[in-house]
Amino acid sequence: MGASLRALRALVLLAGFYLLGLVLLAVLAAADWATVTWLHGGIAVKVLIVSVVLAVPIVRGMFMLRTPKDDPQPGVPVTEQQEPVLWQAVRDVAAQVGTRAPDEILLIDEVNAAVSEDSRLLGLLPGTRRLYLGLPLMTGLDEMQLRAVLAHEMGHYANLDTRLTPLIARGRAQLIRTIGHFHDRADTKVAKERARQEKAAEERLAKGKKAKEVDTAGQGAMYRAMAKIYTGYAHFYMRATLAGSRRQELAADLASVRVAGRDSAASALRELNAIGPAHGFYMDSYATLGVGAGLLPPPGQVFGGLRQLLDARSDELDELRRELSTEPTSPYDSHPALAERVARIEALPDDGRGGLAARPALELLSSPEAALAALEQEVLTPEALALTRRDWADLVHESMTQYVGHGAQELREAATAEGAAPDLAGLLDAVDTDPALRWRIADRFPKSEQAAAATGRAAREFTRPVLRRAAKQLVTAELTARGAARWQLSWSESAALAYPTDGFEDQLDLALDAFVADQPDTEPLRKLVLA
């Protein structure tokens, strides 16, 4: 579908919203006329009042002349003087696609690239063009893959997709706002009726009478009925506009192929399927690991450490690159399924541009480290920026030590409550004197419903692993506190504790088993940890 037809369709869909409003207003006006003609007195007044209050949200929605502005995307704006190589690459790609280059480039913290245009007069006049480019995305791509991504985004400019975005967004915003007005009024009516009935119930109770049950069924029904009418049109509007969005994505993919080649365009999409989950895992398990301990990685490494994870887990990510989701596209998806997009690209004839060596995309920046550090200053909260910075090795050790120490504190508090000393030596001494102390201590820990209902030996079998885990945390806390063990950073696996000697962990497992046995033996733990 050409740009002119798409613009016409967008205008027709927006006009449909206004037409729906006019039809509903006409229906209400007809009801008013019939009321005045055939009815008199209080009933007529009530109908007229209902008609007016129903018309207000319709009129308000129709006269929302401005599209609500989204919050500005946080990021680092870069000028051509600051990043000449990146800007030149973007301009080259725009020229190859046959469109005007963006006026601004903003580096963001997402695995994404996007474009916008501040067009005017419902998209008839062009405006400021802006490219949003994610540094995490660049971290996982090479230059040719990045050019494929840039060509896709420039394809949206060339196809005038961004010029129509404000027009489509206005229709969506007006529908959402109108539906919201009706639901708000319905909720207000329900709340008022509930308050009235609750007050009446209190008065009856004060007089010694039985209170009636609060019943707000049917309240706000007219408002909700009007909301359903607009919701029906909203579903039609969304399906129609999002179907167009999916076609726009496929058209933009062809621009990727023309500029970067079939193989780079397809591999960029496959890489996206791997980088997205990897980035989420990295942010949860590495970048923010130390937040609970008041720590952050070194400047630039909050986002920059992703490269090390991608390198260390390349084999795992290969599976994500190969296996793309084949779930069918929903009518409300803005993009076609990734598997469909890749299949369409890879079905194209070989253009002979595959297998070409390309430098990492981050090397298009004058200083990747400085850009990553600047991004932190823009997107992290002041509270996060105030955290203490540690290199990765110390961050992992200090964070894990503090977290395990919190776990061990539960055992210490339970031991103290039962009259035992809160350290390992004191606990072992107390158990030697009173073996049943272990079960009383563990009984203070949170339990599942099944564990709480168990008795006798069954209860001990529920308790044993809990007690063993708590004892191991206490041992770990004491070993790390005196420097006999240290948490080790691993980019390919979870953090692991490096014990004092080879074979220590196997001996510790046996010693803990002996500690939680029906007839406890504390000697192995004493010799291994306290000697």
Q: Which residues pair with 132 in a beta bridge?
A: 106, 114
What's the pTM value of the predicted model, to 2 decimals? 0.80
Asked if 259 and 148 touch (Cβ cutoff 8 Å), the reply is yes
Asked if 238 and 174 touch (Cβ cutoff 8 Å), the reply is no
Determine the 3-state secondary structure of 154 from DSSP: helix
Say which residues have a Cβ less than 8 Å from residue 80's Cβ, sequence separation at least 6: 87
- Environment class of 407 (CB within 10 Å of its CB; exposed 0-12, middle 13-18, buried 19+): middle
Asked if 376 and 97 touch (Cβ cutoff 8 Å), the reply is no
Question: Residue 142 gets which letter from DSSP?
Answer: B
- Environment class of 504 (CB within 10 Å of its CB; exposed 0-12, middle 13-18, buried 19+): middle
Please name the residue ranges forming H helices in 323-455: 338-346, 368-379, 382-385, 392-417, 424-433, 437-442, 449-453
- Environment class of 183 (CB within 10 Å of its CB; exposed 0-12, middle 13-18, buried 19+): middle
Say which residues have a Cβ less than 8 Å from residue 154's Cβ, sequence separation at least 6: 93, 94, 97, 99, 101, 115, 255
pLDDT tens for the 531 residues of the chain, in order:
555 565 566 667 777 777 877 887 787 777 767 776 776 666 766 767 767 777 777 777 667 655 556 567 899 999 999 999 999 999 999 999 999 999 999 999 999 999 988 866 655 667 789 999 999 999 999 999 999 999 999 998 887 766 666 666 677 777 788 888 888 888 888 888 888 888 887 877 877 778 778 777 778 788 888 888 888 888 887 787 777 778 888 888 999 999 999 999 999 999 999 999 999 999 999 999 999 999 999 999 999 999 999 999 999 999 999 988 777 677 767 778 888 899 999 999 988 887 677 899 999 999 999 999 999 999 999 999 999 999 999 999 999 999 998 889 989 999 999 999 989 999 999 999 999 998 899 888 888 888 888 888 888 888 889 999 999 999 999 999 888 999 999 999 999 999 989 899 999 999 999 999 989 999 999 999 987
Distance separating alpha carbons of residues 389 and 290, to the nearest angstrom: 9
CB atoms within 10 A of CB 323: 11
Q: Are strands 486-488 and 129-134 parallel, antiparallel or unpaired?
A: unpaired
Count the alpha carbons within 13 Å of 381 in the hemisphere toward its beta carbon. Answer: 4
Asked if 348 and 257 touch (Cβ cutoff 8 Å), the reply is yes
Element (H, E) at 497: strand 496-498
